Structure 1
Amino acid sequence: MRIAEFYSEQKVCSYIKTKTSQFHYLYIEECRPYFYRGLLERGWRRFGRYFFAPVCTDCKDCISIRQLVGDFVFSKNHKRVFLKNKHTHLVISRPYVDDAHLFLYEKYHQHMRDKKGWEYAGIDRASYADMFVDGFMDFGYEFAYYVGGSLVGVGLVDALLDSMSAIYFFYDHDYGDLSLGTLNILSQIKIAKEKGLKYFYPGYWIKDHYCMGYKERFKPFETLINAPDLLDTPFWQFYQKEKNGF
């Protein structure tokens, strides 16, 4: 397993425009599950073969959280989301890229650029593979959602040892009434329950944020109380249960 380490340049934060952001990166050619779980527990995320954690000097708003799968109970609202998606077909497979994936990715990000001002300059097959296909080893999967044979949502996810980690989700806003973002999270937690996994990592959470605050709706969850960049922190000694959870 070969590792290259580097830091990104400081730039305007994508989530809080008045602040700057910086990330610590590890490029790992063949990341083994136990090593990956150690990174995951310490707040690191994965895109392709790149693992990253925020190292912003003046801000700690991005918090790594994990849902407690065994304690999670599907609410009436959650069951309604499943019900209105009774005709939405879920296909779980290894990550891959084709024209349908690229078209949906383009459509989603163009919508977010126009609606929320996201920076987006387009994507090609090689760039998509670099971010979402490469490096999945034996733990990477995608949850693809179809309506009437059309691809309407793609959720990338890792399942390893006792945990599941959501990587990224994009969808067709023309099907907004189906609550596909919520469906994706609930579907992944449902599979994690069926597989007897202990934790579900939804990514970074920013409290009360218009874009990143929704993750607190899925309780109970634990929050990382140490900085994600502390690689020498012992396992299991740095999460605390959210007081308002459940």
Structure 2
Amino acid sequence: MHILNEDLEFVEENRQCSYFDDEISDMRYRYMNHCSVEEYQNMLEHGWRRFGKMHFVPECANCTKCISMRIDAKNYKFSKSEKRVISKNKDTKLYIQTPSITKDHLNLYDKYHKYMHDKKQWPYQPITPDDYVRSYVQGKDKFTKEFLYFRDEKLIAVALVDILPKSISAIYCFYDHDYENLSLGKFSILAQIKIAKELDIPYIYLGYWIKDHFSMGYKELYKPFEILTNRASLKEDTIWKKYEL
């Protein structure tokens, strides 16, 4: 790890990749106490992501499998199957507010990750309140929201979402697999697309897409979408292109 400057930007090199056992990752991080809308918009367009006050972007020397992608919300048309998902959730209540933490948040988070550990061998240990606050509550600004989904007054899904004038960034979503028939992960993305259309926001940034990956490949279902084709510094121009499957 090399500290680059006093504003807490650093690179973590030669780390075991989270997605491939045979790959090594290099990640650039920037810890920001305050991030303006303009700064954040520029970072999103350059492939950066955010958890709490920590922003990051991959700079892996030998791999480019993680591809930044964004849904073209303006031109998105809901398929018949997506309309069925929306219809199934007609009794699912959605509340949008600034991020918070409750015992229900923590219990749902742990239940979700225990399920994913058993199903997909995700690493698992119960999250502490401090860790949850650091990742999902800290760094909140006027653009940071949580989408809370309720069924029969029970919290069944949480999505952390940044809403900017020109983009929505889907940060993270976790949900109760006891309600698997509701397709809550998909419903949350569709809800964000609907909101983007209502607010005339052109793009939804879904983070990194890895083609055919068992955990990251699903993002290609949300067509049309664009991918970032170059690795540019924050002062350089980016090249986004529509992806054709």
Distance (Å, rounded) in 1 between the aligned partners of 2:190 and 2:166: 18
> Structure 1 pair 107/9, CA: closer, same or farther in 2 (3 Å)?
farther
The answer to whether 1:108 aligns with 2:109 is no
- Counterpart Cα distance in 1 of 2:19 and 2:128: 25
Q: What does residue 84 of structure 2 align with?
A: 80
Residue in 2 that maps onto 1:145: 149
SS of 2:50's equivalent in the other structure is: strand
Aligned partner of 1:90 among 76, 94, 98: 94
CA distance in 2, matches of 1:126, 1:226: 36
1:162 aligns with 2:166: yes
Alpha-carbon distance in 2 for matches of 1:238, 1:111: 38
In the alignment, what sits opposite 2:3? none
Provide the residue aligned with 2:241 in structure 1.
Answer: 240
What's 1:6 paired with? 10
1:124 alignment partner in structure 2: 128
SS of match in other structure, 1:200: strand
Partner Cα separation in structure 2 for residue 168 and residue 8 of structure 1: 22
TM-score by length of 2: 0.95
Task: Report the identity percentage.
Answer: 47
TM-score, length of structure 1 as denominator length: 0.94
Partner residue in 2 for 1:231: 234
Output the amino acid matched with 2:158: V
Segment drifting more, 109-118 vs 197-206: 109-118
Unaligned segments of structure 2, at least 5 residues: 1-5
Asked if the contact 1:45–1:51 (Cα under 8 Å) also holds between the matched residues in 2, the reply is yes
Give the gaps of 5 or more residues in structure 1: none
For residues 75 and 195 of structure 1, what CA distance do their matches in structure 2 show?
Answer: 21
Partner of 2:70: 66
May I ask how many residue pairs the two structures share in their alignment? Answer: 240
- How do residues 11-26 of structure 1 correspond to structure 2 at under 5 angstroms? 11-26=15-30
Q: Do the aligned partners of 1:154 and 1:169 also contact (CA within 8 Å) in 2? A: yes
How far apart are the structure 1 equivalents of 2:147 and 2:62?
36
Structure 1 residue runs of 4 or more that deviate by more than 6 Å after TM superposition: none
* 1:90–1:146 contact (8 Å) kept in structure 2: yes
| Matched letter for residue 222 of structure 2 | F
2:201 to 197, 204, 207: 197
CA offsets 1:39-87 (integer angstroms, 9 cap, x no match): 0000000000000001111110000011111100111111000111111
Please tell me the residue identity of whatever aligns with 1:239.
W
**C-alpha displacement of 1:198:** 1.0
Q: Distance in 1 between matches of 2:99 and 2:16?
A: 31
Partner SS for 2:8:
strand
1:115 Cα offset (Å): 1.5
Opposite residue 53 of structure 1, the aligned amino acid is: V
Q: Contact 1:3–1:29 (CA<8 Å) still a contact in 2? A: no
Give, in angstroms, the shift of residue 9 of structure 1. 4.5
Residue of structure 2 equivalent to 1:213: 217
Q: CA RMSD in A?
A: 1.3
AA aligned opposite 2:216: M
